[in-house]
């Protein structure tokens, strides 16, 4: 899949998600590891690809919730209900 095809489908790599959301790529990786984000698919080379609307929506919600200082596990519960 070419970059243009990937972007046309709304799929972003970790660095692209991080840049759009204003966070570090390590934040995206960590949030994926703990279950706050999930890749939509993988490239043949093993790169994680995220649905841009879902990932960016979740990251914005995490940022908003973080301003209230809940734990990440509480945020995970909120997101699982909101994005179910």
Give me the residues paired with residue 48 across strands.
42
What is the residue range of 12's domain? 3-82
pLDDT number for residue 65: 84
CATH of the domain at 63: 1.10.1660.10
- Model pLDDT, residue 7: 82
Report the number of distinct structural domains present in the chain.
Answer: 1
* pLDDT of res. 8: 85
What pLDDT sits at residue 24? 96
Question: According to the model, what pLDDT value does residue 66 have?
Answer: 80
pLDDT at 23: 96
pLDDT for res 49: 96
- Helix ranges (H only) for 1-84 are 3-8, 14-21, 25-33, 52-66, 72-82
Averages of pLDDT over runs of 10 residues in the chain (84 residues) are: 84 96 96 95 93 95 83 86 83
């Amino acid at each position: 899949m070419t970059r243009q095809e990937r972007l046309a489908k709304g799929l972003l790599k970790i660095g692209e998600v991080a840049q759009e959301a204003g966070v570090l790529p390590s934040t995206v990786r960590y949030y994926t590891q703990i279950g706050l984000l999930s890749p939509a698919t993988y490239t043949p080379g093993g790169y994680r690809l995220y649905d841009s609307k879902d990932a960016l929506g979740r990251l914005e919600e995490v940022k908003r919730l973080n301003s209230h200082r809940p734990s990440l596990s509480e945020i995970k519960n909120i997101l699982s209900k909101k994005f179910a």
